C-alpha cells in the first residue's frame, strides 16, 4: 500500500490532518504526520520528513502532502537525502483535502501515480456545488 | 585556538543572533515574523555543535548547513542549509581559501538556492542581494582588484540589492500573499544574506 507523509509547519496541523484522514483510511497504517520542529516550534524539518518517508514506505512508494512553500522545500531536501531506494512524489495539492483523497485512494490498493492524481484532483474540487 | 573557519562562522552567527529582533521585525511587515527568531535558533545550535578546532573548511560548512536545515524551520532552513552545504561541497578537503575559491562558492550557492527556491533575481528574495554581490566581486577580481577591494564591492552591491528589494513586489514565499503591499519593505532574507557577506568580508580583512 502506498505510504503517505503529511508535512506541515505545525505539528498540530499535521497530527490533526492525520486524525481526520484516519477516520476514513484506517486500513492504511503507513500514513505519518511530520509537522513542526523537534523542540515543538513552528517550522519544517527535512530530517524529520526523511524519517517519516522511510517509515511510510512499504515498497509501493510514498506520497507527500505539504503545506506552505518551505514545507515543499524541506520535503524536496528530505527526498534528496534518502539513502534507500524509495519512490516518492510530492502532490501539488491543498494539504487537507489532498491528504484525504490520497489516503482514501491508497486504501483501494491504488498505485503511487493514482494516489497523487487523486490528491491533485482536490485542487479543483468545488466545495459549494 | 578555534580554527579560522569556526571563527568566521562564529562572526556570522553572532551577527545574526544580535540582529534577531530587527530581522524578525522586517519579516513581521511582509511575512510570518519569524526570520530572526528562526535564524538565531539555527545559529545558536550551529555554534554549539561545530567542532571549534577543525580547519577542514568543507566539513565545517557542511555541518553548518545540516544544522541550519534541521533547526531553522522556515524557508531559510532549506535555503541557507543548501547554501552552506553547497559551499562545503565546493571547498571539500580545503584548509585555506583563495579569492578564486570565493567565485566558485558563489556560483554553487546561487545555483543551489535557485534550484531549491525556484526563484530568479527580482522576486524580492535573498538572491537580490547575493547575485549582484557575486557579479560585483567577480568583476572586481577579473579587473585585477585586490581581494579586499573585491570584498568591499561585493558588500556594497549586496546593500544596494537590499535597497532594491524595497522597490519591488514579492512573488515568492509568504510575502507574495501581500502583493503590492510588499512594496516599501526590504526583504528579510536579502538582509540576512548581506549580513553574512559583510561578516565574511570583515573576517577575511581581519586575518
**Over the stretch B113-124, which tens digit does the pLDDT of each residue have?**
999 999 999 999
Biggest alpha carbon–alpha carbon distance for chain B: 50
3-class state of residue B191 by DSSP: helix
At residue B181, the pLDDT reads 93
**Residue at grid coordinates 562558492:** B105
Interface residue A68 vs chain B (CB under 8 A): yes
DSSP letter assigned to residue B178: G
Burial label for A121, CB within 10 Å (0-12, 13-18, 19+), is middle
Nearest to A73 among B38, B41, B75 (CB): B75
Torsion B47-B112-B197-B15 (CA) sign: negative
At residue A28, the pLDDT reads 97
Q: How far is A88 from chain B (nearest CA, A)?
A: 17
At residue B80, the pLDDT reads 98
Q: How confident is the model at residue B138 (pLDDT cuts 50, 70, 90)?
A: very high
At residue B141, the pLDDT reads 98
Burial label for A59, CB within 10 Å (0-12, 13-18, 19+), is exposed
At residue A129, the pLDDT reads 79
Which own/partner contact pairs does B62-66 have at CB distance under 8 Å and 24+ positions apart?
Answer: B62/B88, B62/B89, B63/B88, B64/B9, B64/B88
CATH number at residue B81: 1.25.40.340
Nearest to A46 among B69, B74, B174 (CB): B69
Residues A87-125: pLDDT tens digits? Answer: 999 999 999 999 999 999 999 999 999 999 999 999 998
Map out the domains of chain A with their CATH numbers.
Answer: 3-121 (3.40.50.510)
The chain-wide mean pLDDT, for chain A, equals 95
Q: Which three cell numbers stand for residue B8?
A: 568566521
At residue A94, the pLDDT reads 96
Q: How confident is the model at residue B174 (pLDDT cuts 50, 70, 90)?
A: confident
Does the pLDDT value for residue B203 go beyond 90? yes
A64: enclosing H helix or E strand = strand A62-66
Does the pLDDT value for residue B152 go beyond 90? yes
Complex prediction ipTM: 0.82
* Counted domains in chain B: 1
Q: How far is B76 from chain A (nearest CA, A)?
A: 8
Residues A62-84: pLDDT tens digits? Answer: 999 999 878 999 999 999 999 87
Q: How far is B77 from chain A (nearest CA, A)?
A: 8
* Alpha helix (H) residue ranges in A29-111: 46-56, 69-81, 95-106
At residue B1, the pLDDT reads 83
The CA distance from B152 to B59, in Å, is 27
3-class state of residue A90 by DSSP: strand
Does the pLDDT value for residue B148 go beyond 90? yes
Nearest CA in chain A to B41: A41
Does the pLDDT value for residue B99 go beyond 90? yes
Interface residue A19 vs chain B (CB under 8 A): no
Residues B51-95: pLDDT tens digits? Answer: 999 999 999 999 999 999 999 988 999 999 999 999 999 999 999
The CA distance from A39 to A45, in Å, is 11
The CA distance from B130 to B66, in Å, is 21
Nearest to A43 among B72, B81, B173 (CB): B72
3-class state of residue A128 by DSSP: coil
Closest CA to B23 of B12, B39, B9: B39
Query: What percent of chain B is modeled with pLDDT above 90?
Result: 96
At residue A67, the pLDDT reads 94
**Nearby residues of A47 by Cβ (< 8 Å), 6 or more positions away:** A78, A81, B69, B70
The CA distance from B90 to B30, in Å, is 34
Does the pLDDT value for residue B39 go beyond 90? yes
Residues of chain A with C-beta less than 8 angstroms from the C-beta of B81: 46, 77
CA distances from A12 to A18, A37, B196 (A): 10, 11, 34
Burial label for A124, CB within 10 Å (0-12, 13-18, 19+), is exposed
Nearest CA in chain A to B114: A73
Q: How confident is the model at residue B42 (pLDDT cuts 50, 70, 90)?
A: very high
At residue A52, the pLDDT reads 98
The CA distance from B25 to B34, in Å, is 8
Query: What percent of chain A is modeled with pLDDT above 90?
Result: 89
Amino acid at each position: 500500500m502506498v505510504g503517505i507523509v503529511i508535512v506541515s509547519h505545525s505539528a498540530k496541523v499535521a497530527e490533526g490532518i492525520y486524525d481526520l484522514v484516519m477516520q476514513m483510511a484506517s486500513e492504511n497504517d503507513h500514513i505519518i504526520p511530520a509537522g513542526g520542529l523537534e523542540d515543538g516550534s513552528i517550522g519544517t524539518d527535512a530530517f524529520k520528513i526523511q524519517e517519516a518517508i522511510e517509515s511510510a514506505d512499504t515498497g509501493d512508494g510514498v506520497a507527500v502532502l505539504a503545506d506552505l512553500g518551505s514545507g515543499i522545500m524541506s520535503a524536496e531536501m528530505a527526498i534528496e537525502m534518502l539513502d534507500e531506494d524509495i519512490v516518492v512524489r510530492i502532490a501539488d495539492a491543498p494539504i487537507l483535502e489532498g491528504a484525504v483523497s490520497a489516503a482514501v485512494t491508497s486504501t483501494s490498493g491504488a498505485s503511487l501515480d493514482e494516489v497523487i492524481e487523486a490528491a491533485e484532483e482536490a485542487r479543483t474540487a468545488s466545495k459549494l456545488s | 585556538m578555534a580554527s579560522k573557519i569556526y571563527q568566521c562562522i562564529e562572526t556570522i552567527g553572532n551577527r545574526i543572533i544580535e540582529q534577531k529582533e530587527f530581522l524578525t521585525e522586517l519579516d513581521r511587515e511582509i511575512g510570518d515574523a519569524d526570520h530572526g527568531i528562526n535564524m538565531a535558533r539555527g545559529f545558536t545550535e550551529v555554534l554549539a555543535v561545530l567542532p571549534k578546532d577543525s580547519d577542514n573548511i568543507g566539513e565545517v560548512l557542511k555541518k553548518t548547513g545540516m544544522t541550519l536545515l534541521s533547526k531553522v524551520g522556515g524557508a531559510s532552513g532549506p535555503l541557507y542549509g543548501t547554501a552552506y552545504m553547497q559551499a562545503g561541497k565546493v571547498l571539500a578537503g580545503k584548509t585555506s581559501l583563495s579569492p578564486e575559491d570565493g567565485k566558485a562558492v558563489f556560483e554553487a550557492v546561487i545555483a543551489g538556492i535557485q534550484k531549491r527556491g525556484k526563484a530568479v533575481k527580482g522576486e524580492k528574495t535573498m538572491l537580490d542581494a547575493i547575485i549582484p554581490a557575486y557579479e560585483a566581486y567577480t568583476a572586481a577580481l577579473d579587473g585585477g582588484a585586490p581581494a579586499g577591494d573585491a570584498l568591499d564591492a561585493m558588500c556594497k552591491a549586496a546593500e544596494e540589492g537590499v535597497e532594491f528589494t524595497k522597490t519591488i513586489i514579492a512573488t515568492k514565499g509568504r510575502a507574495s500573499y501581500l502583493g503590492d503591499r510588499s512594496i516599501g519593505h526590504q526583504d528579510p532574507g536579502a538582509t540576512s544574506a548581506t549580513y553574512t557577506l559583510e561578516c565574511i568580508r570583515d573576517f577575511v580583512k581581519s586575518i
